[in-house]
Structures are given as C-alpha cells and as structure tokens.
Amino acid sequence: MKLICIGRNYTEHIKELDNERPSEPVVFIKPDSAVLPKEQDFYIPSFSNDVHYEVELLVKITKVGKHISEKFAHRYYDEIGLGIDFTARDLQAQLKSKGLPWEKAKGFDGAAVIGNWLPKEKFKNLNELGFSLLKNGEIVQNGHTSLMLWKIDELIAYVSTYFMLKKGDIIFTGTPSGVGKVAPNDYLVGKIEGEQLFAVKVR
Ligand code: ZN
C-alpha cells in the first residue's frame, strides 16, 4: 500500500509557505510505515523542532488502474476520509533549499494519520465539502474542496499516469492554509462536515 500525497493544491496554503503556484500537481509518496497505527499517540521525532500538522481530505483506491481518465476516475474509489500529513518543516526547508527529495521530512514513522472512512454516496457533491482541524478545541484549519486547484478525479487521472494505483492505496489531496507547529500534549481532531473522523494526541 502506498500513500500518494499532493502538495500545493490550495492557493492560500501556497501563499503562506511562499511557494510558487505549480502548473501541474506536486506529488510525493509516503511509505506504508508512515501510517500512525489507530488509537496511537503521535510522537514528535527527535530530528525536528518544527513538526507541522496539515489536515487533508483522503481518497481510498478500490481497484487497480493506470492511465485512468478523469471521466472514469469515480469508479476507482468508494470512500473518502480525512487525515494529517505531518511534516518536519525545518528538515523539509533544508532539503528544499538543496533541491533534495522531501521523504525524510514527510515519510517518517507516524507521519500519516488516517481517520475513519465515509462512503462517498453520503455526500451530494465531493467538490463541495467543508473540513476542519481543531487543535485543543480551537479550529486551526478550515478547508473546502471547492478550493482545490485539482479536484479528486483530476488527481486520480494525473497520478495514475505515473504510478499504477492499487487497491488500498490512499491519496492525500493537499492541505488548505492554517498549517502550524505541534507541541507535546496537543490534541488534534479532524472533521468533515462536522463529523469527527480522527483524534490524535501529540507526545
Ligand atoms: Zn500535505
């Protein structure tokens, strides 16, 4: 199973990190060992002093496919979810400045929170969904799928040009603005349309 992550998919987040607006999606992969086991606390790794949360809408792939066209992309997923793409921002900045891959900053153990899944039929329009991240009870990120530069079906078409999608693969569709640092004892809760899908304690 692989986690395919999209970077820079929301204009406001591109601005807050001072990044260039991409002409095509930014893609990176986290290994399956990055998945934080359910009900486990997230431990800030020793190699970073600036780990950020990034709440993201997730899509779970249900069957094998490559070169999937946007028109047929909806046949490749039944469920959506919510998760966190934890990022060692200090390490990522170092790697970026040298033009090196981000994996160490994004793919470390526990760096991928995956919440509960919801059937996509539950929603009328997946491109009109609100989601949020609360830190210690306060909303720190508010996202809306209508603001994604590339929508779910476009992302599936795009990534499947490069990577064969397999059953169980998960796409992280990028974070909206509001990313920030976590500290020990923070409590992070993620919601789609008000429904809680995960809760994580930071250590
Ligand atoms: Zn991200």
Ligand 1 center to 56 CA (angstroms):
7
Cα distance between residue 94 and residue 100, in whole Å = 9
The environment of the single-atom ion ligand 1, i.e. residues with CB closer than 5 A, is 54, 85, 175
Rg (CA), the chain: 16
- The rounded Å distance from CA 192 to ligand 1 centre is 17
Residue 143 belongs to what H/E stretch? strand 138-144
Domains of the chain (ranges, CATH numbers): 3-201 (3.90.850.10)
Ligand 1 centre to CA of 40 (Å) is: 21
d(CA 54, CA 77): 22
Q: What is the pTM of this model?
A: 0.96
Residues with pLDDT less than 50, the chain: none
Whole-angstrom Cα distance, residue 8 to residue 23?
10
Q: How far apart are CA 157 and CA 145, in angstroms?
A: 17
Q: Is 181 exposed, middle or buried (0-12, 13-18, 19+ CB in 10 A)?
A: middle
What is the CA(39)–ligand 1 centre distance, in A? 21
pLDDT value at residue 17: 82
Rounded CA gap, 66 and 105, in Å? 28
